[in-house]
Amino acid sequence: MWNCFKTTITKAVKDHIPHKTAKSKDGHPWVTMETKRLIRKRDRLYKKSKKSGNALLAKKYKEVKHQVQKSIRKSYWEYIESIILPPQDETNFGTMKKFWIYIKHKQTDYSGITEIKQDGKLLTDPLQKAGALNAQFQSVFTPASNISHTEFVKQCNMPQNTPCPPISKLIIKTEGIQKLLHNLNPNKAAGPDEIKPRFLKELSREIAPILTIIFEKSIKTGVVPDDWKTAHVSPVYKKGQNYNTENYRPISLTCICCKLLEHIVVKHIMKHADNHNILYPLQHGFRRGRSCETQLLEFIDDVSLNMENGKQTDI
């Protein structure tokens, strides 16, 4: 299955824009006096709402919190713009020094992966490490099958006739896509198409009609753009010895536009499944409002009831 993906070495660079406490802001040059004033106001409202439990204060706190986040982002990007594009009368040595410090920071090669051991040898070269991790990820996945849909249904013994009505036609609305674009996290990484979420978010009104046409065409023809079939695979360390490739899990960074279409399709299918009680009631995974925690709560409740009634529980 991994053979259908393009393996790419990615560099994780994250702009550190803390927004939790006023103390974390004071050392950053882009934080303005107005932002600091909002931070102090936010912190006061937080303490009052926690102490009193007043719903109006809690609502006001959230409003000010959003104002703080918006102010910090605006100040940050204005600060970056002043470094990259300084006014003509300020192109002195100090300004250029700040510019090259910023560029050097962006060029820092930090992948989060230490030395990788393969065949008893420690690998330090990024290409060699990527190759070793790629080989590990491919070894634990089964290649994609080319069987037809009809054959797949036969092998799974899926019932041909069900009491549930067929799913309704998926209708994609421009307003819905614009809302999804507007709610994107601008700090997330771009996919293989290199279209950043900040670009999609800022131009959501202009881009939404275009994506509507692309999504409708993709649903109608069953074809997706080639970039959407590609993923940047990033290894994430889980546990154990960090030089062992078996202790890393692959995380696939796909195109954001593709994720939006997937979200629309999944939401449509889940709505149909919930409305007609198609899913097994004890299934907790990948369902809204359910998780490992809800499953464990029900399990503990069952065990407790059995103990109270003097029954045995086998696991």
Percent of the chain at pLDDT exceeding 70: 81
Residue 204 carries which side chain, given as an amino acid letter? S
Q: How many CA atoms lie within 13 A of 88 on its CB side?
A: 0
Per-residue model confidence (pLDDT) at position 271: 92
Retrieve residue 242's tokens. Answer: 């960090």
d(CA 178, CA 184): 10
The kind and range of the H/E element at 296 are: helix 292-308
Predicted confidence (pLDDT) per residue in 73-121, tens digit: 888 888 887 777 766 555 555 567 777 777 766 665 555 677 788 888 8
Question: Which one, of 111, 256, 252, lies nearest residue 194 by Cα?
Answer: 256
Strands (E), the chain: 116-118, 121-123, 232-237, 248-253
Strand partners, 142: none
Binning pLDDT at 50, 70 and 90, where does residue 289 land? confident
The number of beta carbons lying within 10 Å of the beta carbon of residue 73 is 17
Is the pLDDT confidence value at 164 over 90? Answer: no
pTM: 0.56
Nearest 5°: the CA angle 98, 27, 45 is 135
Residue 28 carries which side chain, given as an amino acid letter? H
Nearest 5°: the CA angle 248, 114, 121 is 90
